[in-house]
Amino acid sequence: MHRLILSNIVLMNKIKVFKFKRSYFIEKHSGKILRILLFFGVFAYLQYHNYSRGAFKIETVTGGLLMASAVYLISSLFGILLNLSGNYLIAILCTGSLALFLAFKLDEIIAKVSWLNENIVATVLIIVSILCIVKDFFILKPKRVTNTTIPDDSIKVGISLYETDPNKAMRDSIKSSSQSVFNLSNMLEEQWGRKPTYEEIMDYINHLVILEDEEYQ
């Protein structure tokens, strides 16, 4: 019974660490994931729309790529401005204003440069967007999240607690879980033939250690 409780507690600690790392990864890269989904979503919708109307051809593919690239770049601009301002409304207004300003400026540049035309600009935008998406895919490639990738010291401590001091992590986990304390209390009552006091339970927890694999055999 004692070993079973310890095994369950160790497993719970490992699950908590895994969930924490996974939630941190999702929170950190949610913007990249959203931009990629927008790119492929817009492109797929435009191709489906053109195909359903019987207007599907090479030009519609390049046009779809251009629209998807524009959405990707604008959403990237929104993410940058949101990080800078910390306010959604300000980020939306600034993104819209800056996108319009850049579009007008781009038209002026095309008109002034003789060799530059809309097709070249569209090709450049598509290539830049695709390269950024490829870079995002490499960043999102599954990898082990280590302490050095997390800037906040308190988060580092939370993740590395089990790895550096598993016994303390196990004891803290028991104390923070009323169900674990209740199960331990029942186990001690069966062993001692009487109901243990709160102080006795806490003292017992403070002396618990995780047995090595060979000690279980």
Identify the DSSP state of 57.
Answer: S
pLDDT for 57-100, tens place per residue?
877 888 889 899 999 999 888 888 888 888 889 989 999 999 89
**Of 11-20, 106-115, 173-182, minimum mean pLDDT range:** 11-20
- Does 49 have pLDDT greater than 90? no
For 165, the token pair is 């001091």
Q: Cβ contacts of residue 22 below 8 Å, gap of 6+?
A: none
Q: Which pLDDT belongs to residue 94?
A: 93
Residue type, 177: S
List the chain domain ranges: 29-144, 165-216
Quick one: tokens of 185?
């209390």
CA–CA distances in Å: residue 77 to residues 31, 39, 96, 140, 180:
11, 14, 10, 19, 48
pLDDT at 163: 52
Dihedral of CA atoms 103, 107, 128, 34 in degrees, nearest 10, equals 20
* Alpha-carbon span 124 to 62, nearest angstrom: 12
Which are the contacts of 63, defined by CB distance < 8 A and separation ≥ 6? 46
Kindly state the tokens that stand for 149. Answer: 């990738």
Separation CA 193–CA 16 (nearest Å) = 34
Query: What is this structure's pTM?
Result: 0.51
DSSP 65-121: HHHHHHHHHHHHHHHHHHHHH--HHHHHHHHHHHHHHHHHHHHHHHHH-TT--HHHH
CA dist., res. 108 & res. 155, Å (int): 49
The total of other beta-carbon atoms located within 10 Å of residue 161's CB is 17
